[in-house]
Structure 1
């Protein structure tokens, strides 16, 4: 087969496997550009290019390292042929054809997302914290959620541990994401995950974040001159002297970035809903079907992220509760979209066959 035919076949396979993801991502980028122009939000589409390049390089080297280790252990007589057979056995060519186009789009998507998130205050001034705190207080029996959980969580080593787990969220989310991006075993499930991922970040992290513009407990005193959560912040600062709480440094970074015009890595202040909890929820939904350690580990991680988001003053508990529910709804919606897309594609395929 010629190189041209291989390129055409690869492009066709990549489009078929990622059609719904591409349509969703492209639609978001176009709408985000229009919104940015309307509200004067600065866009930087190259914000995450180096980070994704670094992550992709590390993953690629890790994969080939594992293959080489296996070859060293097995010591085949024809190493190059054995390496080729291993790559085919793990469907690496198909995984690259299907996954690489998505991996190339993701840094643009995240750059757009962060740019829009950083401009939320231009769309809507922060206003919703008082109502969110009141709702949260009502749900937890008339006390703020952090006080409700504090008798259990208010212990230095546990605070430190929750902070470490909260920081591991980035690794957990992107490891699962890249595993799904380059998976070929279940095309329907893969597409449903990717579409849910995009819609979750867009609808929760941009749309609802702008509609319910809020800063969260850590910034309440600064933006509202409200000292309701000052005791929690005092506890975190005191604890950090013995057990480092890096959340405080990140919060300082976000506050400093909020005064600058234009997005920075990970910038943008927003409380409701919680993207951290939403992404952990999506991972738990996806990994549930695998059972065992993956199932219960993802559930435990979700619980830790929800508790950490409250205990580290990032969110009101209701932010996470809403995120869990909405993410599940989006997952179901993405499943319907995937089913409808598959039926439409099959219908066109049969029509083309009959016409031929």
Structure 2
């Protein structure tokens, strides 16, 4: 078993080294930029927290799969049966093979959280008024008001808020799925090249260049009262059903005001990372399954509407995120194809490896 484990790890490193190296390189660059601006990240706690989240999400996948296997086979010794499956199945080998890739992503995700928390060090949050005006011109008024006849009911708002929080499961779950369960290596690498590109270009580069807070935060941070009625509605709905995002928004505001940096912290509206990653998941899943592609597309649509309805984003944040993600997805496909061609043996090498007849 130990030898098979080592072989699977080695195979993962050999197959995924371009993604792992890109992830670690981006992490190193981010840490240098932060250190140059007086932000030192010395605590191992964020890395441990991210590792534990990955472990819990993997367990979330494993439990139902194990239950289905037990129901189908009905073994006399369930624990021994599951242990044998974990030790010997192809699925278990793929899980182990994906571990180096997951390990390489953890530092990068920490770096992104730190960079997002530090946007104020690199630019002034001065774009909110412009995006409010763009939304108004595009929609004939504030976009959230257009959604109120459809979504302005406490039970719908609460359900949308719950779906919006499921995005965290999508973030970690999509990484686990494509690292450990996707057998198409080109698609795997296209997803992860897109994943890294979205976090870097959209989540750091564009978010810093177009620094903005978003509707929920413009009044406490900038004194803009445009969205007071929207926030009043959300708080009123919270009296009927728990609107999960309100507590998160207050926590993010407190962290921002105190300069508390760490995993999952930081405020940034343009472009919407929620929409960008949900759209990336849709683009990737439609390559594997028409049904799952439709489910992922539906979830992305809910996130797009929820980002506006729940006062996290202006509508233009989502539109820009979708457009930028499409461009990154195309570039990721080109990179994945280029990598595939680079790793294929030349005809001469292939001929030499053939037996003489």
Work out whether the TM-score is over 0.5: yes
Contact 2:57/2:172 (<8 A) preserved: no
CA distance in 1, matches of 2:153, 2:81: 57
Aligned residue for 2:98, secondary structure, equals helix
How far off is 1:97 after superposition?
4.0
Contact 1:117/1:268 (<8 A) preserved: yes
CA distance in 1, matches of 2:38, 2:352: 51
CA distance in 1, matches of 2:67, 2:304: 40
Matched, 1:188 2:196: no
CA distance in 2, matches of 1:136, 1:74: 56
Residues matched between the structures, number: 352
CA distance in 1, matches of 2:88, 2:196: 30
1:1-356 equivalence runs, <5 A: 3=3, 7=6, 9-10=7-8, 12-43=10-41, 46-53=45-52, 55-56=54-55, 59-60=58-59, 63=62, 66-67=65-66, 70-71=69-70, 74=73, 84=84, 88-93=88-93, 95-141=94-140, 143-346=141-344
Contact 1:173/1:279 (<8 A) preserved: yes
CA distance in 1, matches of 2:82, 2:65: 14
The 3 A distance-change label for structure 1 pair 246 and 348 is same
Point out the more displaced range, 260-269 or 154-163.
260-269
How far off is 1:87 after superposition?
5.6
Contact 1:41/1:116 (<8 A) preserved: no
Q: Gapped runs of 5+ residues in structure 1?
A: none
The 3 A distance-change label for structure 1 pair 352 and 127 is farther
**Once the two structures are superposed, what CA deviation does each residue of 1:240-271 show, in whole Å capped at 9, x if it has no partner?**
11122121111110011012344133210100
**Once the two structures are superposed, what CA deviation does each residue of 1:166-208 show, in whole Å capped at 9, x if it has no partner?**
1111123322221111025211101111111111112111111
How far off is 1:350 after superposition?
6.0
How far off is 1:41 after superposition?
2.8
How far off is 1:62 after superposition?
5.8
How far off is 1:10 after superposition?
4.2
Q: TM-score, length-normalised on structure 2?
A: 0.88
Point out the more displaced range, 118-127 or 73-82.
73-82
The 3 A distance-change label for structure 1 pair 86 and 252 is closer
CA distance in 1, matches of 2:155, 2:74: 47
CA distance in 2, matches of 1:214, 1:60: 37
CA distance in 2, matches of 1:60, 1:258: 32
How far off is 1:96 after superposition?
3.2
Contact 2:95/2:181 (<8 A) preserved: no
CA distance in 2, matches of 1:248, 1:106: 29
CA distance in 2, matches of 1:167, 1:64: 21
How far off is 1:46 after superposition?
3.9
CA distance in 1, matches of 2:203, 2:44: 17
The 3 A distance-change label for structure 1 pair 237 and 350 is farther
